[in-house]
């Protein structure tokens, strides 16, 4: 059976809840593989293991919303200047079985980021024992995380992914305990002295992701093993990244804030949202 191609999409600046609904829809409809890349409006997301004590202020005072997600991990931040990538892939079973190797998949995502950072002029980024993600100087006096990773697998299909800090406003992280790790800091390409824009970082990440997740070209004969389209979710003119092209977004979802027990601020639960009416185009 011919392997599924990889469809790469740049979605522009999106609301987290819309991207959440889209990736779940793609996961449930068909077996094609997708890589959804975007930057989000300011949003704090709670993973399934989030300790509410790690949310230090009412997120609305920071100009962000708070959303519950079904990924692993604790609380984190998504916002402008951060590349967020969601691979929606079908993984093979481990050792010929039915269950994929989740740890191996996380390591692969980490390696894509590590290789991307080296391509952008920041070699030496690596893993840190006991802490998923990609780190700068984990053995030094000031370890700091540059990319957070949180994933979920449902029936061999991957959801969620990685958030790489290119040039976000790092002060947003001051309002939470990022990933539940109080003793180490957060950094970005800009904070490390790398003058890379979001377009350059996205292109570099996609190139490395295609190496890892696109099937062999020879399996497609005259077809293409992967394709890329840039789609804009146009809310305001100044939201458009300079390298995005015009396109129609899926219909936005509508969610009412639902108070979380023990929390003083609203949490938007994406579970059960109406899914987008249209999916990104395929060839």
| Distance, CA of 106 to chain centre | 13
Look-up of token digits 């997740």: 213
| Beta-carbon contacts of residue 91 (< 8 Å; ≥ 6 apart) | 100, 101, 105, 153, 156, 157, 158
The answer to whether 238 is annotated as binding is: no
Radius of gyration of the chain (CA): 18
Closest of 22, 59, 79, 72 to residue 267, by C-alpha:
59
The answer to whether 149 is annotated as binding is: yes
| Beta-carbon contacts of residue 97 (< 8 Å; ≥ 6 apart) | none
CA 91/CA 113 separation, integer angstroms: 19
The answer to whether 231 is annotated as binding is: no
| Catalytic center residues | 179
The answer to whether 96 is annotated as binding is: no
The answer to whether 255 is annotated as binding is: no
The answer to whether 205 is annotated as binding is: no
CA 100/CA 256 separation, integer angstroms: 35
The answer to whether 61 is annotated as binding is: no
The answer to whether 162 is annotated as binding is: yes
The answer to whether 181 is annotated as binding is: no
Binding residues: 71-78, 148-150, 161-163
Binding residues for substrate: 71-78, 148-150, 161-163
């Amino acid at each position: 059976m011919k392997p599924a191609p990889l469809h790469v999409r740049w979605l522009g600046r999106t609301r987290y809840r819309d991207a959440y609904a889209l990736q779940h829809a793609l996961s449930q409809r068909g077996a094609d593989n997708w890589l959804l890349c975007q930057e989000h409006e300011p949003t704090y997301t709670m993973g399934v293991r989030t300790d509410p004590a790690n949310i230090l202020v009412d997120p609305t005072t920071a100009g962000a919303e708070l959303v519950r997600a079904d990924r692993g991990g604790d609380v984190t931040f998504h916002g402008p200047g951060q590349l967020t990538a969601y691979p929606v892939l079908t993984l093979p079973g481990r050792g010929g079985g039915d269950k994929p190797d989740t740890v191996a998949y996380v390591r692969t995502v980490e390696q894509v980021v590590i290789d991307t950072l080296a391509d952008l002029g920041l070699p030496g980024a690596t893993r840190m024992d006991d802490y998923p993600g990609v780190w700068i100087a984990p053995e030094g006096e000031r370890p700091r995380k540059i990319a957070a990773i949180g994933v979920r697998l449902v029936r061999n299909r991957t959801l969620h992914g990685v958030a790489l800090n290119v040039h976000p406003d790092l002060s947003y992280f001051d309002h939470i305990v990022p990933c539940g790790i109080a003793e180490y800091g957060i950094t970005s390409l800009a904070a490390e002295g790398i003058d890379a824009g979001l377009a350059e970082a996205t292109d570099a990440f996609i190139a490395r992701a295609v190496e890892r997740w696109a099937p062999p070209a020879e399996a497609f004969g005259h077809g293409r093993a992967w394709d890329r389209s840039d789609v804009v979710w146009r809310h305001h003119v100044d939201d458009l990244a300079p390298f995005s092209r015009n396109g129609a977004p899926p219909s936005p979802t509508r969610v009412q804030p639902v108070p979380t027990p023990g929390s003083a601020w609203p949490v938007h639960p994406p579970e059960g949202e109406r899914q987008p009416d249209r999916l990104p185009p395929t060839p």
